[in-house]
Structures are given as structure tokens and as C-alpha cells.
Amino acid sequence: MMIRRLILALFLCTLLYPVNAHARTVHVDSKATQPGDGSSWASAMQELDQALASAADGDQIWVAEGVYTPNPSAGRAATFKLVPGVEIYGGFSGTEVELGKRNFKKHQTTLSGDIGQMGVPDDNVFHVVTGADRAVLDGFTVTGGYSRNARWQGGDQLTASVIVSGPGNGQGAGMINFQASPEVRNCVFQDNQALEGGAVYNMTSPSNDPTGVPETSPRFIDCTFWQNSAMAYGGGVANALRTKPLFVSCEFDSNLSDFKGGGMYNDFGAAPILLNSIFRNNEAVHGGGMANDGGAAPIFYYCTLTGNRSTKDGPAIHQGDTSANTTILIKTVVWANECECKDTRFLNGPGSEIRVQDSVIQGGYKGKSVFQANPSLDRKSETMLNVGYKTNGFRFTADKLDARIKDANRSEFTQNLPSFDSGYTAAVTTALLDTRNAPALPETRSIPVQLPEVAQTPAPQSIATPEPEPEQPKILEQPQVLEQAPKQAPVATPEPVLAPVQPPAPQPEPDALAMVEPQHSVLKESPAPRKSGPKSSEIMLLELDADGNGCITINEAQGPLQQQFWRVDHNGDGCLSKAELDRMDDKSRQEGQDTAEQASQPQPRPQPRPVAQQAKPAAPQPTTTASLAKPQTAAPAKTTALPAASKAESSGSSTGYTLFAPIGGTETYLVDMQGSIFKKWTSKDTSAGAVYLLNNGNLLRTVSPAKGEVRTPFEGKGVNGGIIQEVSPRGQIVWEYSYVSSDVRQHHDVEPLPNGNVLLLAWEMKHASDIEAAGGSLRSHPEGKLWVEHIVEVRKSGPRSGYIVWEWHAWDHLVQDSNQSAPNYASPVRLPQRIDLNYNPTRQADWQHANSIDFNPALNQIVVSLRNTNEIWIIDHSTSTAQAAASSGGLMRRGGDILFRWGNPAAYGASGRPSLMGQHDAQWIPNGKPGDETILIFNNGDRREKRSDIIEIKPEYYFKTTRLNAQVVWSYNDAGGSPFFADHVSGAQRLANGNTLICDGTDARIFEVTGDAKPVWEYKHEGRNKGPDSHLFRATRIPSDHPGIKRLSSQ
């Protein structure tokens, strides 16, 4: 009887609380050959809309990589409407059986609002995603939402009564959460545009809403809001009407608002909580990082605001005067924000307040434990949660995140934080460096601006006034010099804000043009060597070990020690230990050389090799002078140019602007035809030479990591690069991708592709064991290692991230005739489509030394220049990565084998004199321009003959065999009647009018010639340094009608 009653009770429970019979996993794959029921990848649904329509509470939807759009039948109102309790995961390849096996960074899954004409935003959806309670969105890129054309235009007011009626077409282009609390994880919101909340708009209901809908609290974890924009409020995110969203480990980067809140805007009592999040490079008229109105109460905990810009006030945080706003900053960094205003950090309107505790604020601020030591933010702009965070060289200690949440709850400023998964953030700091408080900058009030008013709502209950400051916790003692005002380190001044670019006015014609040169390129005089005995390894470690890890990296080494680094590094770990330094010291003593003494002293930079003086063109050369600016130190640098504009009609020179970046310098120049600087970008990073102007007015450039930033074996003369940056017109880094490590390094050149991806030239390391296993002879490679070329295609996935979508490796296409038992054994002359492993004419580890890459979109092919083997290659880009590693596949059916090579028959075992010598900058001449389907090459030439020339060739190659012939259709080797010579760098570009722009990189001279070798324009860049730092990798003529020029002219 008891058992029957128990069974009956259990049965009744199942009636009262039914088990969810719909809990299942639904598979979606846009590449599925036919629509299925979603039960597996083999029978996957093709559309995400279909899966959402069939999903029920408790279901999971797995979405394979690809681009998905809402059902266009609903027009611009189409949206991916999330389902309560349903979890949606992206980032699958389409084969996984476990959720944890997906890779959302590699397998990008995109939700796009571009349902109409591609690239035209006016017909895109209003909201790509619409949120729902308890729904999860994880592992997606949300892009292409467009909600700019509604709600508020010009002088119309935006009031509470407007937005409480429901989600509008002017809000939340990427995602709108109206009375909904979803959880969004591992998502990127990019290129969405709205009136409010370019990427996301969160809102609940007003306090007098009769429905009594509770406050909403959507949660965003590990999300990135990148390059979104708003016409009025919140370029990245807008929060309104008492919503309390939580943002954990999120990035707000390069978002733009035409009015308030570049990164985020809060109004009508919104109270977001931000933990371990970064606001970087956002821009607005008011509040580049964040703007608050209507009693907003945001809390920052372990956050960083840096590089944000306002054109009027409050570059980090702006608090309006419509109602009292209270912002709380705890353990937060506010540094290097920009504004042409009195306070380059905050602006508080009447009644508003910013409360600060345990934070680093540039210029100091009132509050508890406020420090103003320069945080030395690295290129990732770390927060104090990150283990590697440094202030003035002191490293913070790390601890578990859970302990720090209790710390936040104990703060007198905060209430209880909502719960979240702390596993998304690894570690936090437990102490702040005691730099003492300096007098805070005076607090500034807002200036009334004639802009739309916002209706006021009752401010939330104010936070209690803080109690008297308790005794400071005990921390490590530091020297008390900081308490002495005269000895305090000055606060770093932010870089100057670039003025709006205007086309230069006509200038009179004096003698020479003055140009501002990078101050960082000034060589400091090396101290005279001391005449003393050899230094011990302890002293060398003390002086050179900058990061304190007990050994010396190649970036820390100096002079002969750096030159002999890999010989001294016996264990090959890239760091010289005390034992290795002692062994080197003993050897030096035996040889009677004081090597340790030389290595411990900074070595003066060697003087450049003298270059033969070049004869100027016979045409008259009037010069023009215009004083542009005065350098603060050293003698002013100069440029000279022929007044091409005045000669254009008679001499036939082209028009436009010339772009170049001196190698090792910190500035990039865009000069007009008169030689005047039209635009200059200044950077903290040193240029690796390659630079491109994109259609949006941004630069794509290569730079080198700072000394000691990365430990890599790819070091030495002529070695630079490793980091690719996209830089806005005002100098902010909007995208950065680092491809440098102990195994690989990007070098020399990159190539932007029409689809927005970027091709990278790079080295990968192969050791003696790899060489011998592939059949190579170490006699050909005496250094016992090879830097082997490879090419990767990178797709941007966030402001500081990207992933490789295609790659080609030279190591996959070898041939060798020295070891019959090893792979790839054959005669190189019979397989010219392969690379002879034993052909190494320089006998260096830098085996091939590729120095340029160019892409032909019509052919979908790549041309690469290889200096050390004196040849160029053409490679098929239409292959997949698997096909690129084989010898079949792609449009040319040859896989990744070389389609065409030319310049040096000896490279594949044939006889004949080389046609190229140390060449650079092989460029396709695009369709529609003179020399259709040809390749232009700067042939540097033999140092014995001291003669360079420009060669234009017509390659010959077909489907079945690699052809090695080319017709030389044009060449140039004369400069005013005398040969010119540039033994390295340099380049040439075919212009639209048929002329050729030539860059003599070693002489920093750029000139334009006609097809019959007549010089029509010349420009000379005279850098402050007379060495490699003034050399030019190449120069590029940008047409006047280029979209990027139009963007720069409008700034």
C-alpha cells in the first residue's frame, strides 16, 4: 500500500511539473545540401529561422560556420527572435558531437542584417537579433543592422514617452532587449548603425508602467563591441529605463556617436555594472567612453578607459545636467583620453558625481586611494584584473576572481553584484601600488549645449555618503621619494589630437619644405666606454635583464652580445642564463677579448654605406618652401619637391597624394603634389615600412614589437614587422593582429584583400632535424636552421584579434636531389614548380627572404618577390588550405605548387644568367591600366655594377606545366642621364596615366617618369637620421578620387 501511494504521488508530481519532452539539440548548417529535421549534422536544417521556430524551452541550437540572415520575407522588420530558455551556440565546423569541441574563433558564425543589396545599408534589417528572457546567444558575430532612419531627426526631442512605447526602428541595430534578460557570451558586435545603441539597446519599462514588468538585467560576457555607430546616443551600447545590464570581460573599441556616449550611453535610471571591461578608442561629441543622463548610476569595477576622444567634453565619462548621475569607479584605470578641453578625463553636470576608490586616474582625483602613476598600458590596454598589469615597473599580484567579488560587495560604494560565471575571468589583483595621492585636478562643470533636451525621470535613490576613510591596508613599502613634491614623476601628457585635415592652401615658392620628424628617432649619444675589467655575469644580468626573469633575451641584449646571441644561447631557449654568460666570459678571457665589457655598453649605430650621388634630371628644378612646424629637438628635417602641379599640363605628371612610412620611424606621411604634408599619422610603434590607405580613410600598416615585448628567434639586420595595425585618421588603433612568437614572425609586407581580409608574409622556423628529415643537406645550411616562408590570410574578428582562414607554406612544395631515401627526391630542373631545398646561395638561415606580396583579384593569384634567391613566384590563391599544401586543386589545378617563377634559372637547377638581383616590390598592373596583366618589379641590381632598374614583364604560364619564360615589355634604368642604384628596399608603381612612380628607398627619393623615361616630378624626404631609419620601404601614389582621400578631407 505504501509503495502504491508513493507511485501515485510521483505520478501527480509529473502532472503538476511536467518533464520537458522537447529538450533536444537542433543542428543548423547553411552548407547542408538539403534541408533536414536538425537531429544531426547529416540532417541539419539550413536556416536558423527554421530552428528558432521549432525550438522549445530547454533546447540547444548548434549553428555551423557561415553567414545567416533573417527571413527576408518580413522586410526590414525581419529579425532573429530568440526563444525563452533556448540556448544558441555558434562556431561549429559541422562535425562536432560535443559542445566543448567547437572553436568559435576559427569557425566564424555570422548573423547578418544585410538582406537586400550587398553593401547598401539602407535596406538592412532594423534589428539583427531580438532578445528573450533566459535565452543564451554564444559564439556569434552580429553585424549589418541598420536603424538610423527613424525616431529622431535634428531638433526633435527624444523623451521617455517616445521610447517606452516599445522597441523602435531607431534603436539596437545589432540586438534589442526590450523587457528581456538574455545572456550573451563570446559575441562580436561589429558594423551596426542606429539612432541609439548602434550595437545593442537594453531597456525595461518606466516606473509607472501599469504592466509592472520588472527591471531587466541582460548579461554580456566576453563580448566585443567594435566599430558600431549611433546618430545620437551610444555608439556601442545604450541602456535606458532602469535596466541593469552586466558586462563582464567586454571590450568597447572604436565605436562612434555623433552626440553622446561613443562606447556607452545610459539614461532614465539605467545602472549597468561593468567588470574587467575596456573602453578604448571610442569617440563622441560628449563622453567618448561613456555618457550618462537622467539619473544613471553605472559602476566600473576593474575596468580601463583609455584612448577615448570627445570633441567637446568628458572624453572618458560625461555626466549631463538633466538629472543627478552617480558613477562609481573601483580599481579602475583612466588614462590617455583625448579632448581639446580643460579636463581630459571627466565632465560632471550640476548634481552629478563621480566616486573613485583604489583607482589610477591621470592627473589624480578626489576619492580614496587614488593614484596617478603612469600605468604603462600595453597594446592590449590591460585592466587590473589581468596578471601582467604593471604600474611604474611594479607587478601586481594575482588572486582568484571569486575572492574579489566579495571585495566589491564590501565596498562602501556598491550594492550586491549579480551572479555570473567567474570562470570567464581568470585572475585579479590584490593590492595597489602606493604612489600616494597628488592634488586632484579641479572638477569641471558642463557647459550648456543647444541640443535636444531629454525628459527627466526621478533619479534612483542616492548612494550613502562615504564614511571617513579607514586606515590603508598594509602593502609593500617603496622609497618615499614620491612624497616629495619636487621629485614626483610628471604625469604623462596624452598625444596631441590631430586637427581636422583640410586640403592645403596654395603656398608661395620659397626654398625648401620643412617637415616635422619623429622625436623618437633621434639618436642619443652613446656614453664613452669605461676602461675597466670585464663585467661579471651578475652585473650583466643586473644591467640588461629588464623584465627580471633571471636571463637576458635577444631584445635585452646589446652590442656584440646581441650579435652573438644564438651562439651563446647553448640550450636554444631564447634567453641567456648566468651559466651561459659565464661560459661566454671564460671564452672571451682565453681569447684576450673583453667581450663582456663591450656587450654591457650601448653600441653606437653603424653609419650607413655611402650611396653614389645621383645626377638630377636635366629639367629646371625650382623648389618650394613652406614652414609646417618646428621640431622640439634637433635640427628641422626637410623635404624638397618639384612643383608638379604647376608643371602638370606641360610635363604630364599624374595627380594625387603620395604615401610612405620611413622604416624604423614613428610617423607616416601623405604628401600632395607640391610636397606639402596633407596628412601625418604619429605612432608610438616603429614602422616596418609597409603601409596602405584603405577606402574608409584608415591606414593598414606593419610595425615591430617594442624591445623585450616578444621573445622570438627571428632577429637581426633587416628584420622587422610582426604586428599589423589598422589606424584611424586620428591615429587610434582600431584593429591589431600580432603574428610573432618563438615559431613564426610576420615580416616585410602585407596585402589587404577586397573582402577585408589581409595576406601576411611570414617566416616559420625549421631546425636541423627538420632539414635532414626532408632530405636537405646541412652543408647548404651551415646555421643549422631555416626561416622558411609562408603566407597566411587573416580575417578580422575583433579589435585585437583575428583568425587564419587560408595558408600556404613553402615547406609543402620541396624538391631535393641529395638523399634518395628522403621525401621529395627528384631533379629540381625537372620539377621547377617545386622549391630546391638545397639551393641557398647566401647560406643564411633567412633562406629566401620574401620582401613583397601582391594580389590579383581578377586571377585570384599572388605574386611574391624573393630577394635571396633572386626571383619572383606566382601562387594560386583559389585553393583551399588543404589544396594549397598539395599539388592539385584550385582554378589552375596545380594546388600550391609554383605556377610561374622568373628571375634566376639557378634556383631550379637550370643554366642561364639571372635577370633579377636582390629585387623588391613585384606588383601586378591591374586590369584597365597600361600594361594590362603584367608585373612591375624594382630590380635593385648588383652591388658591383651599382645599377638598379625597373622591369615590366609579361609572364607566360599555363595549366599543365610551369613555364619559366617572360617577355620584358618595358624597363627604366636612367636618372637624368646617369644610372641610379638602391641596393635594398625601394619600389615602383604604374600610375593611371601610364607614368611610373619610383621610390629609391635608400636615398629616400621618390620620382615620377613617363613611358619614355622623362622625369616629371620628384620628392626627397630628408629624415633626421642619416641611416636606415630614414629609408623608405616603398611609396604609393593615391589618386585624388580615392574614397580614403575623401574621408580624410572631410575630417
Integer CA distances (angstroms), 387 to 395, 422, 428, in order:
8, 16, 7
Distance CA 874, CA 896 (A): 10
Helix (H, G, I), strand (E, B) or coil at 1026: coil
Closest C-alpha to 229, from 296, 147, 300: 147
- Residue 14: the pLDDT is 46
> What are the domain boundaries of the chain?
537-599, 626-799+836-1049
Burial 701-710 (b: 16+ CB within 10 A, else e): bbbbbeeebb
What is the reported pLDDT for 165? 34
Q: May I ask the CATH class of domain 626-799+836-1049?
A: mainly beta
Name the pairing type of β-strands 686-693 and 699-704.
antiparallel
Encode pLDDT of 998-1034 as tens digits: 999 999 999 999 998 899 999 999 765 555 457 999 9
Angle, vertex CA 626, rays to CA 620 and CA 629, nearest 5: 145
β-bridge pairing 723-727 and 733-738: antiparallel
**Residue 838 burial by Cβ neighbours in a 10 Å radius (0-12, 13-18, 19+):** buried
Cβ(415)–Cβ(462) under 8 Å? no
Residue 754, φ and ψ in degrees, nearest 5: -60, -25
Q: How far apart are the first and last CA of the chain?
A: 86
| Contact in structure between 441 and 485 (CB atoms under 8 Å) | no
CA distance 437 to 491: 13
Q: Which three cell numbers stand for residue 175?
A: 540586438
Residue 185 grid coordinates: 557570451
Task: List Cα–Cα distances, 1042 to 656, 693, 866, 932, in angstroms.
Answer: 9, 9, 30, 21
| 884 CA to centre of own chain | 26
In angstroms, what CA-CA distances link 290 with 233, 266, 728, 983, 1012?
Answer: 10, 8, 20, 52, 59
The amino acid at residue 262 is G
Q: What's the one-letter identity of residue 809?
A: H
pLDDT at residue 288, rounded to an integer: 95
Q: What residues are paired with 346 via a beta bridge?
A: 317
Is the torsion defined by CA of 408, 413, 418, 424 positive or negative? Answer: negative
**3-state SS string for 930-977:** CCCCEEEEEECCCCCCCCCEEEEEEECCCCCCCECCEEEEEEECCECC
Which pLDDT score, from 0 to 100, does residue 173 have?
94
For residue 560, what is the DSSP state?
H
Please state the length of the chain.
Answer: 1051
Give the integer Cα–Cα distance in Å for 227 and 25. 33
Q: Which CATH number fits domain 537-599: 1.10.238.10, 3.40.190.10, 3.40.50.300, 1.20.1730.10?
A: 1.10.238.10
CA gap 917, 935 in Å, rounded: 16
Helix (H) or strand (E) holding 578: helix 578-590
Residues 519 and 358: their CA atoms lie apart, in Å, by 35
Q: Is 842 helix (H, G, I), strand (E, B) or coil?
A: coil
Would you state the cell numbers that stand for residue 301, as one nine-digit string? 569595477
| Residue ranges, the chain, pLDDT below 70 | 1-22, 119, 149-169, 205-215, 322, 376-381, 385-539, 542, 546-550, 553-556, 559-560, 562-575, 579-580, 582-651, 927-932, 957-963, 975-978, 1023-1029, 1051
Q: What confidence score (pLDDT) does residue 432 get? A: 32
CB burial of 109-133 (b: ≥16 within 10 Å; e: otherwise) equals bbbbbbbbeeeebeebbbbbbbbbb
Q: Give the tens place of pLDDT for each residue, 966-983.
A: 889 999 987 556 678 998
